[in-house]
Amino acid sequence: MEIRKHVINTKNVIRGGDRLGIYFMETGDFSRGSKVVYDRAYSSISEIQPNMLDWKKILEGVNWFHWTGITPNINYFKKNGLKVPEDIAVIGFSNWKVSALTSPSLSSVEQNGVKMGKKVIELFIKTQKENKEEKKEFKTIKIPTKICLRESSMRTKT
């Protein structure tokens, strides 16, 4: 598993839902803006309940934390006396413009949604043209990402 290769502790991962959520970004042009469609129906994140999370246990000894929809959790940390990034470093995904405007500004992984979308469409069209009934092959395609470091993960040395 990719996550194990990076020695990431997953003991507090809660598995559930029928599938992972997905998002699709439709790039706009000069006459209309871009549009993002989130499909989280029956996904793990859509079915999570507040009583499923023991935050004290989850955050015990933690230096880094990832969560989908991180902003509510930064607020939780603040309300419970945890300072970001002094007590816990936080990083998000997508590098939306708002990431630089949050307090503290949110470090994030910039993913090229346009390239991802184009690749999905290319593969879909290719699959439809081939119209094979036999079992489809799974393929791993790597699209480069970039880490944008901001205040939420930048600790000062003491």
- Residue 118 pLDDT grade (very low, low, confident, very high; cuts 50, 70, 90): confident
Strands of 77-144, DSSP E? 89-93, 107-111
pTM of the entire predicted model: 0.50
The answer on pLDDT for 16 being more than 60 is: yes
Q: Please report the pLDDT score of residue 35 as a whole number.
A: 77
Give me the mean pLDDT over the 135-157 stretch: 81
pLDDT in tens, 47-99: 777 677 777 787 787 776 666 565 556 777 777 788 888 888 888 877 777 77
Judged on CB neighbours under 10 Å (0-12, 13-18, 19+), 72 is: exposed
